[in-house]
Structure 1
Amino acid sequence: MLELTQIGEQLIFIGIAFFLVGLIQGALIPAVKNSRMALSGHLTAVQCGMALAIFGVIWSLVMLPLFVDIFVAYGCVVGFILIWLGITIASVTGASKALPIAGAGFSAKVTTEFTVKIMVRTGSLLSLIACTTLVFGLLPTLG
């Protein structure tokens, strides 16, 4: 049986709260400038929230040094939130350069476009590094 750790409990709570935010955002899709982008934000929050909750459930299986363990857990949280926040800002402002498919036909001020691009890219890189490290932290459970 899996045992919940303190980090695991926190990831579950953050994940379920993030999932709830995604559900609320789904109800608000028609109220924003770019509904396609809002749908992307909604799906991002719901999917990332579920991922964080799952990470929390399996956290006792992760074998990483303490500092790396903390980086991976909260790197995932911060990375996922940055991606979602960037997409959500884009849906409200019309920013489209960072996400051209969902943003097709929309544009925003240069500073907004830059902010969204930095948020999405930073969040993507951070979550990629954290999730890749998580995979290596789970490898010892295979043996």
Structure 2
Amino acid sequence: MIELTQIGAQLIFIGIIFFLVGLIQGALIPTVKNSRMALSGHLTAVQCGMALAIFGVIWSQVVLPLSLEFFVAYGCALGFILIWLGITIASVTGASKALPIAGAGFSATAAFEFMVKIMVRIGSLLSLIACTLLVFGLLPILQ
């Protein structure tokens, strides 16, 4: 039986807020410098928000040491938010080096290009590590 834990409830809340932010961002796509990048940000927020909400629902099934449990839960959330924030900043400023497909034809100052690159890379690495650990924390449900 799945029960709701405190971390699970927090992940659901963060996920639903993130989903809502993605919906609002979708309405604002035409107002930014790079609408393709804004669409990427919108989709990132909506999809990552749903993922966090799902992680919250299944959180009672995760078996990890407490310190790792905090890292996995909030590492996923922070990683997803950093990726989304980097993409959103890129959509407003025109930064394109970190995300060349959605950013094709746009450019920004070196500072914005660097900021977006750092946010997307750190967010990607953090969410990859946290989600990998989540898989290991879910292995006991297979037995």
TM over 0.5: yes
> Counterparts of 1:103 and 1:122 in 2: how far apart (Å)?
19
| Deviations 1:70-129 (CA, angstroms, capped at 9, x unpaired) | 000000000000000000000000000000000000000001000000000000000000
The residue number in structure 2 matching 1:52 is: 52
The residue number in structure 2 matching 1:80 is: 80
> Counterparts of 1:57 and 1:112 in 2: how far apart (Å)?
36
Amino acid at match of 1:129: I
The residue number in structure 2 matching 1:125 is: 125
TM-score by length of 2: 1.00
The residue number in structure 1 matching 2:71 is: 71
The residue number in structure 1 matching 2:100 is: 100
Percent of aligned positions with the same letter in both sequences?
85
- Cα RMSD, aligned residues only: 0.3
| Deviations 1:40-79 (CA, angstroms, capped at 9, x unpaired) | 0000000000000000000000000000000000000000
Query: Structure 1, unaligned stretches of length 5 or more?
Result: none
Q: Which runs of 4+ in 1 moved over 4 A?
A: none
| Deviations 1:1-44 (CA, angstroms, capped at 9, x unpaired) | 31000000000000000000000000000000000000000000
Q: Report whether the alignment pairs 1:5 with 2:5.
A: yes
Query: Structure 2, unaligned stretches of length 5 or more?
Result: none
The residue number in structure 1 matching 2:40 is: 40
The residue number in structure 2 matching 1:135 is: 135
